[in-house]
Structure 1
Amino acid sequence: MASILCLLAGVLALLTGATPAQAGVLTRDEMVRRFPAPLIVGERDAELPVWPLFRQNATATELVGYVFESVDLAPIPGFSGVPLNLMVAIDPKGVFIGVEVLSHHEPVFLDGLGEAPLYQFVKQYKALSLKQNISIETGNHRARHADAAHAYIDGVSKATASVRIINQSVLAAALKVSRKKLGFAGGRDPDQIARVHPDVFRSMDLAQMQRDGLVQHLRVSNRDAEKLFAGSPGAGLDADALAHPDDVFIDLYLACVSVPSVGRNLLTPAAWRKLQGRLEEGDHALIAISSGRYSVTGEDFVRGSVPDRLLLRQDKLPIDMRDLDLDLKLAAPLEADSVTVFRVIAQAGLDPASPFELALPVTRNKGIVYPERITRELVVRYQLPADLVIAPEGNNKSWTAIWSGRRWELALLAVGLLVLGAALAMQKRLTAHAARFDWFRRAYLLFTIGFIGYYAQGQLSIVNLTGVIQALMARRSLEFLLFDPMTVCLWGFVLVSLLLWGRGTFCGWLCPFGALQELTGKLARWARVPQWRIKPHWDARLKRIKYVMLAGIVASAFFSSEITDKLVELEPFKTAITLNFVRSWPYVAYAVGLLLASSVVYKFFCRYLCPFGASLALLGKIRLLNWIPRYAECGTPCQTCRHRCDYQAIAPSGKVDYAECFQCMDCVVIYASDQQCALRITQIKRQRTIPIQPAARSQP
């Protein structure tokens, strides 16, 4: 049943739009405002979410460039866990026209440094080229000068991680557009990216790996290095090379160590496992093993940064790679002065099935005051054998590929939802034994917190609703929903459960933060923390607050995404579940404060403040079943369930308020219990009454 619901939800979301998935916010009117005459904004591309820019030149209309949003093409999660959205414009030669920030959630710029350094940082991309290797510089390195192959932009102190992610987002999105629209992909389709085959392994020694091209060896003597500069101003500037021409300039081994047939043969088992733990799906790792007087990293190299002395290129375009800061032990018999591993993230678009090159630039300076820089490159070409990669099947970045990649998570979720659906459908059997029901509920809440929440990141939120509203307002497709399969499946189940049982199924069983609150409250009771039961008239008034919050958030979604971004922080879900409390202290204090409040007032946030719960309560009005069984005597005179209801969702008359019911089923357990239900206890006592009978007369 749960699997069918997942499929139906996916089909429903797909039918809502037929254009490519878009999470961006720019409309045509906004584009025209940002790029006024004499520029002309063309129609949005039907194949790739980009806007072409034109200029009228006499009688001809010439292409000025393309504008796009990074979140549409490279949604790389920021430090907060949410992708930044940057507006990027490039010209037909791959030169940046400009970069602007549309939205972000980076704590260091929101809560610490302010946004001015962020805006200043992105301005530096103007006039830089995608054909340059763009590096972020800090400290003493800021004195380095750009050239045709290198560009340097100033970083932001105390925001190293955030600006690095911004740089990756800009470059990954721009590279995808340049490959697709500017012909920089060497004739291949940049959307058709092969993958390294994770299950193919061939046991080989170093010599075999070199013969198969899996390990490339470059040995350069001082004499060879000097020949690079022959006939140029750089000739004869290296005194050591002239004095010792036969000495080793560099002895370098290069390999794609994330390939099992390379990594498992080249590294020790412990080092291979360590490397695997640092890579995400689709990432690549390149290893450089070097010795000699010229190092790949250099004396001023900072661990964790982008290398200057080793460049990665494919289709003549540089691809960003970064030191993993890993010390790995080699299993192969190699002596080396340094072993460095570099990570290439999946969004960078490196195709392992196509050839790429690793270049080692060697620079000499002539002059003292204003030295002339002369650079030559040592280039190593690299290509994996066909049997070690999986050829692309269609667009492997489509939502169908994402669903396929998470099939085991979806299968486990389907089993969990199937178990919950069956349990709720057979509530009489489920609640027949109070102790057994308690164990089932606690186990399921732990499943919700651990798997649905922290592992699968399936926390439904008011953001799901505001995102749909904003997309519809901008007349964008809703296909972006399909790129989060856990959310789609959960929504499919929740919509059906709303029809059957109301809001309680999600709020009481499937909300990770709600489950975290409930277990916090139970732990507090076990520790004998005094509980505060709010008086009924105040309880009724406080429950209205969440509806006010919902109205404010929904209204803001129609006219201001900036205000919406601030208002949705009323939900602590991102802090507590998505970011696992790794956030600036005000957000953490707020989330922890709500958990502490729930330890004295049962599920405080869920009952009084949760705007998403309010939306489900309203949607739950279409509920078909009054599924909580009642006796005629419930409420008149029996008040047991009302007093035992922690959510105060039962009126003195015995009527259940389903909009405030969290389906904890405590009242259903009481209803079926001969030890807890006052009516059943009374009936049993009456059955045990011995009737009075007249004594038999004795015979004379």
Structure 2
Amino acid sequence: MNKFISQIFIAIFVCIMMIANTVYAQVDYETLAAKIEPPFALGDEIGPSTYQIVNLDGRVGGYAFETLPYAVIPGFSGAPINLFVTIDLQGKFIDAEILEHNEPIFVSGLDGALFHNFVEQYKGKSIFDTLVVGVPYGGKDGASSLIYLDGVTKATASVRIAHETILAASFKVAKEMLQQIPSGPPAKPNVDYNEDLDWQTLVDKGIATRQLVKNSEVQAAFKDTLWEDDDPIAADEPDEAYLDLWLVDVGPQSIARAVLSQDAYDELQGFMQISNHDEPLLVIDAGRHGLVSDTFIRNTSPDLIEAHQDGFPIALRDSDLDVELADGVPGETAMIFRTDRRLGFDPTRDWTISVKATREHGSFRPEIGNVVFEANHKTDERFFIRENIHVPTPPWLEAIQSRIVDLIILGVTLFALIWIMLGKINWLAGHRFYTPIRLSILAFVTGFIGWWGQGQLSIVTPLGVMRSVYEGQSLAFLLYDPFSLLIWLVVILSFVLWGRGLFCGWLCPFGALQEFAHHLGRLLRLPQINLPERVDAVLVYLKYPVLFGLIFMTFYNPDTADKLVEVEPFKTAITTYFMRNWYYVAYAALWLILGMFVFKSFCKYLCPLGAVMAIGGLIRGRDWIERRKACGSPCQLCKVKCNYGAIKKSGEIKYSECFQCLDCITIHDNPNQCVPLILAQKGRSL
């Protein structure tokens, strides 16, 4: 049998080495360039891991960047998720892709494709959209502007961290590169507002803005320059209009009806239904300047007109609509330009239109001269509405809301367990059905806390906390999994009251499976192996070098540490329901099989989390297991019956190895089992 046990330990070692054999590759410029799809290409690096992306004609079309320099949000391993994100000049996501992560649930756990599929949902969305992970809390409102992204079951915390990383990095890049981040929801035309208007009313109320520039003014602007004499019409007709510009925002329907023919109005409304984020701006010239040059191409940005608001450029683009003006509206040349409200344009505040006047000097390769004329405009607030500002739910609160029912059940369970352990522990240990009660609780722990709630605590969390503290990073990642965090808080409290026993004996799903394996082994009448005391005394300390080895690798080689934590079979047995590569399943199964012969062997000898619990238990404030003078000297019954070997020959409890099974309390309180009590009933003493 000892040879059989040795072979199992060898197999366990082989599985650990196979699991640890994984490394990450470095990402270079060529690799990133290959991820950019036509019609874009990766351009120059303009910042830390930040690049321009260029169109086929060489113009900048957006930006590509790694998230790591901009958003260092630790994951559950303590390491941030690094993604490669591309956005266009309007702040729309072109693509998003995971470059590197160390999220334990996806490191040879859940199919990594699920994580990548989640990130792909950002394509086509905008950084100005209100993006939320998961299903809406309290039911979905069909009129809501929120856009929901499908999460990943059993990995909600990890995808929330990725989501926050993408948004935080994208907003920082947009603020630096695009320079137009709206401070609140944009004003958009109120389709329910109607007002009877005509052209004269628009002029009288300042809804239509006019900029009249006479030929004499243009001449004055070019005076004493090379181009002073290059416009004979301006010199001959100084009082005639060079530029007679009218500017009207035709987004509001009442205004559009006053300046457009019915056909043009209908075409505009159809356009706005398709492009509902654009604000249409009607520009009319009744002079001889014109609105665009002879080389202008429809549906592109105008070459003679620019616009600015708050010192930032407003991106104008031809809407490619046929404009027919209503009767009484002056001017022959008219165009409707559009700009995206999501990029910060607010039609209700002052903005400036700039019209470029151009002259050429010379016939062969002429020199070009320009002067600019400006006009200010805004449209009254009454024509627009604004959506209520959506204040994003804090990630920690969103995580709580998404699991509120589970948290209530868990909270009631933990409260009941603590209440029993504090005041009813002797009653529970002495109950005639104590073993069925204990096994029922462990079954609930395995099913609800483990498989359903994914509340299996892991060494990954303490390692991630240590790494984050060392690197000066936030511990906010703990809030993304409130279910496990609640268990952690109770476990830390239990250190003071009982030591490691509450978690290892009652709240560990894999520990519960080990105990079920033990009972199965007894039902099958398998031989129960009790290791010699001197061997057991050595093996119980094995978990400490395993723990310290993981701590060392966390700081020395984090990537390897992320694999070595698979020394815990928790992810295989609990998180993924044994649905993993065969060697992970074999490793977890070996411990359960071994547990049928050696009582809770993994928990006693190798569990690094158990080592953390034992160290945490050093702050225990009391000896909560009652002892008698006769315990240990000469009575050894509790020591013999203790499957954990947690009782010394002296009768003293080794709380660092006590799993709170309560067997010794059952014996201590039972007058038919406790030897001192039996002898006392007979009038004898030890």
Q: TM-score, normalised by structure 2?
A: 0.52
Query: Of 411, 417, 421, which aligns to 1:420?
Result: 417
SS at 1:502 equivalent: coil
Is contact 1:191-1:396 (8 Å) kept?
no
Cα displacement (A) at 1:566: 1.2
5 Å-filtered alignment, 1:204-243, equals none
Query: 1:279 Cα deviation (Å)?
Result: 14
Question: What SS does the aligned partner of 1:447 have?
Answer: helix
Asked whether 1:573 is paired with 2:573, we answer no
Q: How far apart are residue 71 of structure 1 and its match?
A: 13
Partners of 1:195 and 1:392 within 8 A in 2: no
Contact 1:85 1:103 in 2 (8 A): yes
For residue 560 of structure 1, what is the aligned residue in structure 2?
Answer: 557
Matched, 1:673 2:670: yes
CA distance, structure 1, for counterparts of residue 543 and residue 430 of structure 2 = 35
3-state DSSP class of the match of 1:655? coil
Aligned to 2:84: 88
1:499 lines up with 2:496 in the alignment: yes
- One-letter code aligned to 1:511: C
Partner of 1:367: none
2:624 aligned to which of 624, 627, 633: 627
SS in 2 for 1:686: coil
Shift of 1:67: 2.5
TM-superposed deviation, 1:75: 12
CA distance in 1, matches of 2:460, 2:274: 41
- Distance (Å, rounded) in 2 between the aligned partners of 1:54 and 1:40: 7
On the 8 A contact 2:61/2:88 being kept in 1, the answer is: no
| Cα drift, residue 560 of structure 1 | 1.7
Distance verdict in 2 for CA 1:404–1:100, change over 3 Å: closer
1:606 matched to 2:556: no
The separation in 2 between residues aligned to 1:577 and 1:70, in whole angstroms, is: 35
CA contact (8 A) 2:75 2:102 kept: no
Change (3 A) 1:674 1:615: same
Aligned equivalents of 2:564, 2:107: Cα separation in 1: 18
Q: 1:101 aligns with which of 99, 107, 110?
A: 99
Q: Does residue 116 of structure 2 align to residue 166 of structure 1?
A: yes
Contact 2:468 2:475 (8 Å CA) reproduced: yes
Q: What amino acid does structure 2 have at the position aligned with 1:68?
A: T
Please give the root-mean-square deviation of Cα atoms over the aligned residues, in Å.
Answer: 4.8
* Correspondences of 1:191-270 after superposition (within 5 Å): 191=131
Tell me which residue corresponds to 2:130. Answer: 190
Give the Å deviation of 1:396: 3.7
Instruction: Measure, in 1, the Cα distance between the counterparts of 2:597 and 2:627.
Output: 29
Check conservation: 2:614, 2:656, Cα contact below 8 A.
yes
Q: Partner amino acid for 1:452?
A: I
Query: How far apart in 1 are the matches of 2:529 and 2:87?
Result: 64
Structure 1 residue identity aligned to 2:130: P
Q: Report matched runs for 1:331-342 at 5 Å.
A: none
Q: 1:430 to 1:100 in 2, by over 3 A?
A: same
Shift of 1:194: 11
| 1:439 partner SS | helix
Matching residue of 2:244? none
Give the alignment of 1:161-560 within 5 angstroms. Answer: 162-163=112-113, 165-172=115-122, 179-180=126-127, 185=128, 189-191=129-131, 394-396=391-393, 398-431=395-428, 433-560=430-557
Q: Is the 8 A contact 2:96 2:120 kept in 1?
A: no
Change (3 A) 1:495 1:71: farther
CA distance in 2, matches of 1:435, 1:586: 42
Residue 682 of structure 2 aligns to a residue whose secondary structure is helix
CA-to-aligned-CA distance 1:156-213 (integer Å, 9 cap, x gap): xxx9x754652442443x666xx22xxxx4xxx4247896687699xxxxxxxxxx99
Alignment of 1:106-145 (within 5 A): none
**What SS does the aligned partner of 2:659 have?**
coil
Moved more, 424-433 or 503-512: 424-433
Q: Taking structure 1 as the reference length, what is the TM-score of the superposition?
A: 0.51
The answer (yes or no) to whether the contact 1:645–1:667 under 8 Å persists in 2 is yes
Distance 1:73 1:620 in 2: 33
Of the candidates 663, 670, 692, which is equivalent to residue 660 of structure 2? 663
Q: Which of structures 1 and 2 has the bigger CA Rg?
A: 2
What is the distance in 1 between the residues matched to 2:134 and 2:612?
43
Q: How does 1:147-162 map to 2 (within 5 A)?
A: 162=112
Q: Judge conservation of contact 2:106–2:115 (CA < 8 Å) in 1.
A: no
DSSP 3-state at the match of 1:101: strand
Inter-CA distance 279–534: structure 2 relative to 1 (3 Å threshold): closer
Alignment of 1:1-150 (within 5 A): 39=45, 41=47, 64-68=63-67, 85-93=81-89, 101-103=99-101
CA offsets, 1:38-85, max 9 Å, x none? 84546xxxxxxxx86689xxxxx99854422699899999xxxx9995
**Partners of 1:175 and 1:67 in 2: CA distance:** 18
For 2:514 and 2:155, locate their aligned partners in 1 and report how far apart those are by CA, in whole Å: 31
Aligned residues: 409
For the Cα contact (< 8 Å) 1:513–1:573, is it kept in 2? yes
Distance 2:74 2:472 in 1: 20
- Is the contact made by 1:70 and 1:87 (CA closer than 8 Å) also made in structure 2? no
**Superposed CA offset, 1:294-353 (max 9, x none):** xxxxxxxxxxxxxxxxxxxxx9xxxxxxxxxxxxxxxxxxxxxxxxxxxxxxxxxxxxxx
Distance 2:73 2:425 in 1: 50
SS of the counterpart of 1:88? strand
2:649, 2:663 → 1: CA distance? 17
Deviation at 1:653, TM superposition (A): 1.1
Q: Which residue of structure 1 lines up, in the alignment, with residue 11 of structure 2?
A: none
- Structure 1: which 5+ runs fail to align? 1-25, 43-50, 56-60, 112-158, 202-211, 214-257, 259-277, 282-314, 316-354, 358-389, 689-700
Tell me the residue number matched to 2:176.
none
Local SS of the residue matching 2:579: coil
In 2: Cα distance, 1:617 partner to 1:280 partner: 28
Deviation string, structure 1 residues 138-167 (Cα, Å, up to 9, x no partner): xxxxxxxxxxxxxxxxxxxxx9x7546524
Gapped regions of structure 2 (runs ≥ 5): 1-23, 34-42, 54-59, 157-185, 187-272, 276-386
Q: Retained in 2: the 8 A contact 1:546–1:610?
A: yes
CA distance in 2, matches of 1:502, 1:109: 32
User: Percent of aligned positions with the same letter in both sequences?
Assistant: 33
| Change in 2 beyond 3 A, CA 1:165/1:662 | closer
Partner amino acid for 1:570? V
Whether the aligned pair in 1 keeps the contact of 2:74 and 2:473 (CA below 8 Å) is: no
Contact 1:445/1:509 (8 A) holds in 2 = yes
Aligned-residue offset at 1:410: 0.7
